[in-house]
Amino acid sequence: MLKFSCPVLSRIVVAAGVLALPACTPTYDWREVRGTEAPFSIVLPAKPATYSRPINLDGVRLVMTMTAAETDGVTFAVGSAQLPEPAKAQAALQAMKTALVNNIGGTVRHEKSAAAAGVASIDIEAAGTSNAAGGGQPMLLFARFAAKDRWIYQAVVIGREKAVSRDAVETFFTSFKLN
């Protein structure tokens, strides 16, 4: 343990240590969240809020429940809804993808589709701008759209291009599990 013979110096060292504490506060305070009705789990970087609202996916009316958290101007969200029949899943995933990309006036930079173990998914990275959310700033959107049985999901990270951490995006998506 350090000892200081000068009381002024020891106060400066203590004050500097106290001032440095906020710099150590993590931007991302990851916590696991489970769907209240939909069978999924994911980690979010802050305390989430959950809300539900009716949506229309190309003529299919559903209630989507969204659970979202925001940190440093970047939103992390997962939405879920139950379809009347599984046959409408692929069309619903495409409709969700189109709506999100249109929300930022964006274009898809990368897209990958997969199907395994009864889960169909589409992953995208899109770039655009958003006058409402980003003040005309360049925006990035990362999304995973998935369907399992009658459930459809969208996991989304969206924020100003310079604020989105690729490591945080990776943490978010690798934690997304359909139960």
Q: Looking at the 3D structure of the chain, how many domains does it have?
A: 1
Give me the pLDDT at residue 11, please.
40
Name the region of 134 (left: φ>0; alpha: ψ -120 to 50; beta: rest).
alpha
pTM: 0.82
Q: Is the residue at 59 inside a domain?
A: yes
Distance CA 163, CA 83 (A): 34
Low-confidence ranges of the chain (pLDDT < 50): 1-25, 133-134
Give me the pLDDT at residue 117, please.
87
Q: Is the residue at 53 inside a domain?
A: yes
Q: Is the residue at 7 inside a domain?
A: no
Give me the pLDDT at residue 136, please.
80
Domain boundaries, position 75: 28-178
Give me the pLDDT at residue 7, please.
41
Give me the pLDDT at residue 130, please.
73
